[in-house]
């Protein structure tokens, strides 16, 4: 029974540690127009949120801003701000949600509510009420960086090749495998060795080997007294 209790506590602790936190982000993106708005920054809601989050230490952008080059190449280092409206004919109600790139809600403010009838005044009033409850988040940037994750994501996107299974053709015989990629027009003749995952090859006038690493094929050769490795878009 004690062991079961200990395992349960450890399991709960791990879940708690793994849970995403608003404190792990210092960059925020705000839509230039929320769903309930008829035009960008209507009633200055969006720019008010931007100014508020800047005061809290965030680097903040509206989606209509001129963004730094490559800024949107990786989004999991940013928090996305959404405004949720639940108004009726008698009142205006609004809250803010802060989500990660996987749509997890990291924090939500309280609803701001008012019976003010003039729309401009009403939206600004409920927004200020909602923003006051942001203090409940106890936001303090943890200093977390996403350099490794961003680098891995960019490498994945660089590795992506739009080649269908039908575009890669192979011809095999006892001593070699001929691979022809109809998309890139590249043809390689791979000569078999004693290992199934290693072949001898001449590619673009260079002698080298074709070998598999983690299910991906590479052509490796000696270039300027260094080993050069190129990913190949081939399948067997």
DSSP string computed for 132-200 = HGGGGG---------HHHHHHHHHHHHH-----GGGEEEEE-SSEEEEEETTTTEEEEEEE-SSTTEEE
What is the separation of C-alpha 8 from the centre of its chain, rounded to a whole number of angstroms? 32
The predicted-structure confidence for 61-83, as pLDDT tens digits, reads as follows: 999 999 888 788 889 999 999 99
**What are the structural domains, with CATH classification, of the chain?**
19-138+147-156 (3.30.160), 165-232 (no CATH)
Rounded alpha-carbon distances, angstroms, from residue 78 to 15, 29, 61, 74, 166: 22, 7, 10, 9, 38
Is there a contact between 100 and 106 (Cβ–Cβ < 8 Å)?
A: yes
**Whether the predicted model's global pTM rises above the 0.85 cut:** no
For residues 166 and 227, the model is more confident at: 227
Phi-psi category of residue 98: left, alpha or beta, with phi > 0 → left and psi -120 to 50 → alpha: beta
Give per-residue pLDDT as tens, 92-107. 999 999 999 999 999 9
Q: pLDDT of 1-54, one tens digit each?
A: 555 544 454 444 444 445 789 999 999 999 999 999 999 999 999 999 999 999
Whether the Cβ atoms of residue 85 and residue 110 lie closer than 8 Å to each other: no
Dihedral of CA 6/142/82/109: which sign? positive
pLDDT, position 169: 60
Q: What is the pLDDT of residues 104-143, one digit of tens each?
A: 999 999 999 999 999 999 999 999 999 999 999 999 999 9
How many Cβ atoms sit within 10 Å of the Cβ of residue 8? Answer: 10
Mean pLDDT, the chain, rounded, equals: 83
């Amino acid at each position: 029974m004690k062991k079961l209790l200990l395992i349960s506590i450890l399991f709960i602790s791990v879940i708690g540690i793994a849970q995403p936190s608003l404190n792990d982000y210092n960059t925020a993106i705000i839509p230039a127009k929320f769903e309930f708005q008829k035009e960008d920054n209507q009633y200055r809601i969006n720019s008010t949120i931007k100014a508020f989050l800047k005061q809290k230490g965030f680097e903040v952008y509206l989606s209509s801003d001129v963004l730094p080059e490559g800024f949107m190449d990786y989004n999991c280092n940013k928090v996305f701000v959404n405004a949720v409206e639940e108004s009726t004919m008698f009142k205006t109600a609004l809250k803010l949600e802060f989500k990660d790139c996987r749509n997890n809600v990291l924090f939500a403010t309280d609803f701001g509510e008012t019976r003010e009838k003039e729309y401009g005044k009403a939206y600004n009033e409920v927004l200020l009420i909602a923003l006051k409850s942001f203090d409940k988040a106890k936001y303090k940037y943890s200093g977390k960086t996403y350099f490794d994750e961003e680098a891995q994501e960019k490498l994945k996107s660089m590795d992506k090749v739009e080649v269908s299974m039908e575009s890669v053709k192979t011809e095999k015989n006892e001593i070699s495998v001929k691979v022809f990629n109809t998309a890139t027009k590249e043809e390689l003749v791979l000569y078999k060795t004693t290992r199934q995952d290693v072949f001898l090859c001449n590619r673009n006038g260079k002698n080298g080997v074709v070998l598999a690493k983690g299910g991906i094929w590479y052509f490796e050769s000696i270039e300027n007294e260094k080993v050069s490795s190129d990913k190949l878009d081939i399948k067997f």
